[in-house]
Amino acid sequence: MGTVPDDGAARPRISLVIAARNASGFIHPVMASIRRSETATMEVVVVDDCSTDDTAELATMLGAKLVRLESPAGAAAARNAGAREATGDVVMFIDHDCCLCEDTIDRVLEAMARYRGEVVLGGTYTLEPFDAHRFASCLQSLHVHYSETRRPDPDYIASHCFIMVRALFLREGGFPEALSLLLANGCCQDVLFSHLLRRRGYRLVMDPSLQVRHIFNFTVRHSIFNAFWKSRAWTRFALSEGSLLRDSGSASSEMKVSSVLLTLALASLMASAWWKPMALASLALAAASLAANARLYAFIFRHKGTWFTLRAAGLYSLQLLAVVAGGVAGLAQGPLTPARNAPASEGSCGSTTNMGRS
Note the pTM of the prediction, 2 decimals.
0.89
Compute the C-alpha angle 110/116/120, nearest 5°: 85
3-state secondary structure of 17: strand
Span 46-59, average pLDDT: 93
What is the 8-class DSSP label of residue 160?
G
By the 8 A CB rule, do 31 and 45 touch? Answer: no
3-state secondary structure of 175: coil
Per-residue pLDDT tens digits for 136-193 = 999 999 999 999 999 888 999 999 999 999 999 999 999 988 766 565 555 788 998 9
> What domains lie within the chain, and their CATH numbers?
14-218 (3.90.550.10), 219-335 (no CATH)
Q: How far, in Å, CA of 235 to CA of 323, rounded?
A: 10
Q: How far, in Å, CA of 231 to CA of 197, rounded?
A: 24
Percent of the chain at pLDDT > 70 equals 88
What is the 8-class DSSP label of residue 16?
E
Per-residue pLDDT tens digits for 195-241 = 999 999 999 999 999 999 999 999 999 999 999 999 998 998 889 88
Burial label for 193, CB within 10 Å (0-12, 13-18, 19+), is: buried
pLDDT at 356: 43
Contact partners, residue 278, CB within 8 Å, separation at least 6: 268, 269, 271, 272
Per-residue pLDDT tens digits for 264-311 = 999 999 999 999 989 999 999 999 999 999 999 999 999 999 999 999
Average pLDDT, the chain: 88
Per-residue pLDDT tens digits for 125-138 = 999 999 999 999 99
Helix (H) or strand (E) holding 98: strand 98-100
Residue 351 has pLDDT above 60, yes or no: no
pLDDT at 337: 72
CB atoms within 10 A of CB 115: 16
| Residue 132 Cα distances to 135, 253, 330, angstroms | 7, 28, 32
Which residue in 146, 95, 126, 98 sits closest to 312, CA to CA?
Answer: 146
Q: How far, in Å, CA of 264 to CA of 326, rounded?
A: 16
